[in-house]
Homo-oligomer: A and B are copies of this chain.
Amino acid sequence: MYSLDPDFLRTFLAISETGSFGAAGEKVNKTQSTVSAQMKRLEEIVGVNLFEKEGRRNILTVEGHKLLEYAASMVRLNDEALHAFRPPEVTGNIKVGAIDEYAQAFFPEVLDSFTKAQPGVLVSVTTSTSTILKAGLAAGEFDAVFVSCHSGDADIELLRIDQLHWIGGEGHNLHYNDPLPLAAWSEGCSWREMAQAALAKHGRSVRLAFSTSNAALMTTTLKRGLGVTVAPRWFVSEGLRVIEELDAKCPLGRAEIGVKRKPGTNPAREAFIAHLQQHLRLSALAA
């Protein structure tokens, strides 16, 4: 029985992210020829082709995607195991803020694994809107806030980009309505603004049906067919669906989330940010 070296899998993940052997090599500190050889060997072990070319990019085959899931899990486990031993544990309390949509989707799992990896760090999480969180950071209430950022935003470190989609309740077809009943995120939320911009651009009339900044509330509202909203694919849960037809007619942009730090250094905070970043990176692959 052969083994899948996590080292190889890490390289594999890097390729699936960058779409390029060379770029992947840089990410994992190997030469392009090494990457090439590793993938050749990996394909040999699993016995299938993992990549196919799309223009100049390397895209995963069906089998490649299958391996991707296992690879992400194994790498995560591997890193978690190693972290569990490295004694240079940082300690301290940190207070972070995050926008509700991301927090609800990612924080349960992230907090679970982080507290295992760094039992000496106590994390307090507050959720709110980007605007309020930034103000809170300025007032010194947070060590870091995770907020949506517009491409140019200075002093925000980009963590993840998600394609936005129109999302509604399963079994509802509100996108045939005119004006379109919009279940919007709160005032100031960039997702809301992108939704309105997309609708305006394509001359679609709209009616504000509902507004909230709470992800759980939004979900139940959508399920009941009170409106449609915009969000990344991972927002879709049981009872929701992506409205492909509306995506085609009124294409949306991308949502970007980043981290903004309180001035000064803070090892505990950096450990948490690194951990979250890793998680966001790996879970983005499934998409």
Contacts and interface: CB of A to CB of B under 8 A. Distances in A.
Interface in A73-110: 73-74, 77-82, 84-87
Contact of A82 (B7, B46, B71): B46
Contacts of A5: 3, 5-6
Contacts of A85: 46-48, 63, 66-67
A248 interface: no
Interface in A4-24: 4-7, 10
16 contacts: A1-B82, A3-B10, A4-B6, A4-B78, A4-B81, A5-B5, A5-B6, A6-B6, A46-B81, A46-B82, A47-B85, A63-B85, A67-B81, A70-B81, A70-B84, A73-B77
Interface string A35-77: 0000000000111100000000000000100110011011001
A119 to B, nearest CB: 12
Q: Is the interface of A mostly helix, strand, loop or mixed?
A: helix
A2 interface: yes
Contacts of A84: 66, 70
Place the interface of chain A in its size category.
20 to 34
A225 B1 CA distance: 48
A3 B5 CA distance: 7
Given A4-B6, A5-B3, A47-B85, A70 B80 contact: yes
Interface string A192-205: 00000000000000
Nearest to A83: B1
Contacts of A82: 1-2, 4, 45-46
Nearest to A48: B85
Interface in A129-145: none
Contacts of A78: 3-4, 74
Given A3-B7, A47-B85, 18 more contacts: A1-B79, A1-B82, A2-B82, A3-B5, A4-B78, A4-B82, A5-B6, A6-B6, A46-B82, A46-B85, A47-B86, A47-B87, A66-B84, A66-B85, A67-B81, A70-B77, A73-B77, A74-B74
B7 A6 contact: no
Contact of A77 (B7, B47, B63, B74): B74
Nearest to A2: B82
A81 B73 CA distance: 10
A281 to B, nearest CB: 14
A56 B1 CA distance: 30
